Amino acid sequence: MPHTRSEGGSRWHWGLLALAAGAWPAGAQEARQVVAAGGLAELSLEELSELPVTSVSGRPESLRSAPASVFVISGEDIRRSAATTLPEALRLAPNLEVARLNSGQYAISARGFNNALANKLLVLVDGRTIYSTLFAGVFWDSNDLMLEDIERIEVISGPGGTLWGANAVNGIINVITKAAGATQGTLASVTRSRHGGQEAVRWGGKLGEAGHLRLYALALDRDNTSRADGVERPDAAAKHQVGFRSDLALAPGQLTVQGDAFRGGDDPANGLAPKLHGGNLLARWDGRFAGGSPYRLQAYYDLQARDEALTFRNRAESVDLQFTHEPQLPPGQQLLWGAGYRTGRDSNDPSPALVFIPAERRLAWSNVFVQHQLKYGAWQFTVGAKVEHNTYTGYEFLPSLRVAYTHGTTGTTWGALSRTVRAPARIDRDFNFPARPPFLIRGGGEGFDSEVAKVLELGHRGQWGRNLSYSGTLFRQNFEGLRGGRGTPPQVANRIEGNVDGLEAWGQWQPAEAARFSLGYLGLRKDLRFSAPPVDPNGIANLGNDPRSQWSARAQFDLPYRIELDLMARHVGALPAPVVPAYTALDLRLGWQATPTLEFSLIAKNLLDDRHAEFNAVSVASQFGRRVFVRAVFQL
């Protein structure tokens, strides 16, 4: 039967709209009027290349000079796209693989190894790590954001272990939300289709004389998807979320406090539509010592609980404390150092399909790092290392060396050597299937060690005049000790090694003030093998299902009468095991700024075909076809 939202869920959606209606008069008393967007000409491509990024070196630097393969998705990029969720917004980054699994779940990775439990990509939201201690990856259906609150998303493909630690193997996604002072007044948005949608409301106001506050609530619902034979999959669900952010400027620095709480899923829960609940609370202090050198102290608590009924029944709690400091050095030198400690508890109730032994673990991670940057003429040298200790494998050493040469204002050529690891998670050590002996699959126990990657990168980022920018990176990633199977019954072990080579490239061209074009490409070649017999025939395929190539193209136009036209085409090559045919998708957004405070958008997705699968065996996979959404955003 098609999914129908519960009565409680409907009350939530209507309640959000009522809250927005009640807040508008109050917000209008102080809120500024929203002017129409400045259009594509607001920032030239040359100015965009000078925007600051922080995820590469841990401190602000221009995108043009950053010595890494980094792509920035701006809040304006998201607004001018067909994205209705955070994973869909990540499709804008050409250096990411994004595959939709079902109604609410995604597989997302960089530089290969993509699957439902992808574990080599570190994801942060405002400095808070959102990966699950269960499998060292992200449950994307547990991590929704109000897209209007995102300032930018910095997407780095390649290792970042020196700054971010273990699991930053193939890339880092750093989602940075807007300061509370940038979201004053009231905003209400409604995005609906025949198959679900989302409602959200946000209010921002002053917090005393030196601070600002933001409150938000959102509700989303999704209908069932269907297989190729027309049979519906039970993956429909609803989710509700609330949160806040406050920024308070004090004489010696700035204090940020923010948090979120969510609950989702319907009865009965299942692996496609689990029951979810959780929340987080973060506090961050940015200050300066007496000599003027900046430092940051951050702490957060995070809870994620997930019940898939037949498989995972997981509850993970963590507390994290981090400190970073940038001492003052002579001109041409920069030093960043820091330390961190995280402790957590991960518990898994037995389910009919699997059991974790032990059912609960206390986990701890600690680290100290240092990174020094030296500029000598047009050359820039960055050397750093992190020593990290974790419960599973003890000490890990994560060094990196980056060299960059700046060609005046026209571009930067850079190279990097790095060593990073993917530390074990619960699923590597403690997982057993089925729930009772005799087990058909056993966890690796104390014998499973970290997966190791040694990475070589060479890249160039350039600017040709004011109207053309481009970036290209070649990389080789040498892996040792990747997860495979050993013995009968199979036991998880470090048994696979080999190389992943690739090219990622993208560019933007703006021939006129009212038109902009973008193109991106990712090519991968994997050469993996077992390090010792016997060979598990499915071992390498289980590490990830990746296309040999994919490309994306965007076209954006500012039309008369405050109308915007945005198109995005993306092509994903065939997946090898299991086989998923290649597909090409075209998304469209037609936006109209009706008044300075009211915007309407028509969003159409997957215009080129009735349906296609993006992941999993085609016979059982969810099929995705044409969808039309209508969005209205009202802001005072």
pLDDT tens for residues 163-218?
998 889 999 999 999 999 999 999 999 999 999 999 999 999 999 999 999 999 99
| Residue 632 contacts residue 189 (beta carbons within 8 Å) | yes
pLDDT tens for residues 292-321?
999 999 999 999 999 999 999 999 999 999
The structure tokens 């009640």 sit at 22
Burial class (CB in 10 A: 0-12, 13-18, 19+), 625: middle
pLDDT tens for residues 111-139?
999 999 999 999 999 999 998 999 999 99
How much is the pLDDT for 17?
42
More confident residue, 538 or 110: 110
In this prediction, residues 241-254 reach a mean pLDDT of 95
**Alpha carbon distances (Å) from 588 to 509, 514, 519:** 19, 17, 16
φ and ψ of 406, to 5 deg: -95, 125
How much is the pLDDT for 11?
44
In this prediction, residues 626-634 reach a mean pLDDT of 97
The structure tokens listed for 28 are 């209008």
In this prediction, residues 97-121 reach a mean pLDDT of 95
Confidence tier at 555 by pLDDT (50, 70, 90): very high
* Helix or strand (DSSP H, E) at 13: helix 7-30
In this prediction, residues 332-353 reach a mean pLDDT of 95
Give yes or no for residue 24 having a pLDDT over 70: no
**CA distance linking residue 467 with residue 194, whole number of Å:** 40
Closest to 187 measured CA to CA, from 302, 333, 27, 304: 27
Average pLDDT score over the chain = 91
**Alpha carbon distances (Å) from 228 to 4, 195, 303, 575, 617:** 22, 17, 37, 17, 11
DSSP 538: T
How much is the pLDDT for 7?
40
Give yes or no for residue 6 having a pLDDT over 80: no
How much is the pLDDT for 57?
81
**CA distance linking residue 143 with residue 264, whole number of Å:** 11
Give yes or no for residue 3 having a pLDDT over 60: no
In this prediction, residues 62-74 reach a mean pLDDT of 91
How much is the pLDDT for 236?
93
**CA distance linking residue 353 with residue 440, whole number of Å:** 11
How much is the pLDDT for 26?
37
| Distance, CA of 158 to chain centre | 14
- With a pLDDT cut of 90, the percent of the chain lying above it is 81
In this prediction, residues 504-513 reach a mean pLDDT of 96
| Residue 361 contacts residue 401 (beta carbons within 8 Å) | no
How many residues would you count in the chain? Answer: 636
Give yes or no for residue 16 having a pLDDT over 70: no
| Residues pairing with 416 in the sheet | 402, 457
How much is the pLDDT for 152?
95
Confidence tier at 609 by pLDDT (50, 70, 90): confident
**CA distance linking residue 417 with residue 401, whole number of Å:** 5
**CA distance linking residue 575 with residue 152, whole number of Å:** 30
**CA distance linking residue 507 with residue 411, whole number of Å:** 13
Residues 287-310 as b/e (b if ≥16 CB within 10 A, e otherwise) read eeeeeeebbbbbebebebbbbbbe
Q: Which of 297-306, 309-318, 536-545, 568-577 has the lowest mean pLDDT?
A: 536-545
**CA distance linking residue 46 with residue 515, whole number of Å:** 15
φ and ψ of 449, to 5 deg: -105, -175
Q: Is the Cα dihedral 571, 605, 277, 75 positive or negative?
A: positive
In this prediction, residues 483-489 reach a mean pLDDT of 84
How much is the pLDDT for 489?
80
In this prediction, residues 469-497 reach a mean pLDDT of 93
Confidence tier at 465 by pLDDT (50, 70, 90): confident
Peptide bond into 358 cis (omega under 30): yes
**CA distance linking residue 109 with residue 95, whole number of Å:** 9
| Residue 295 contacts residue 289 (beta carbons within 8 Å) | yes
Domains of the chain (ranges plus CATH)?
7-635 (2.40.170.20)
What phi-psi label fits residue 23: left (phi over 0), alpha (psi between -120 and 50 degrees) or beta?
A: alpha
How much is the pLDDT for 487?
79
| Residues pairing with 240 in the sheet | 219, 263
Give yes or no for residue 600 having a pLDDT over 50: yes
Strand 150-157: give its sheet, edge to edge.
69-74, 150-157, 171-177, 121-125, 128-129
Closest to 272 measured CA to CA, from 299, 248, 314, 306: 306
- With a pLDDT cut of 70, the percent of the chain lying above it is 93
pLDDT tens for residues 412-453?
999 999 999 999 999 999 999 999 999 999 999 999 999 999
How much is the pLDDT for 486?
83
Give yes or no for residue 30 having a pLDDT over 80: no
Give yes or no for residue 267 having a pLDDT over 90: no
How much is the pLDDT for 538?
79
Burial class (CB in 10 A: 0-12, 13-18, 19+), 362: exposed
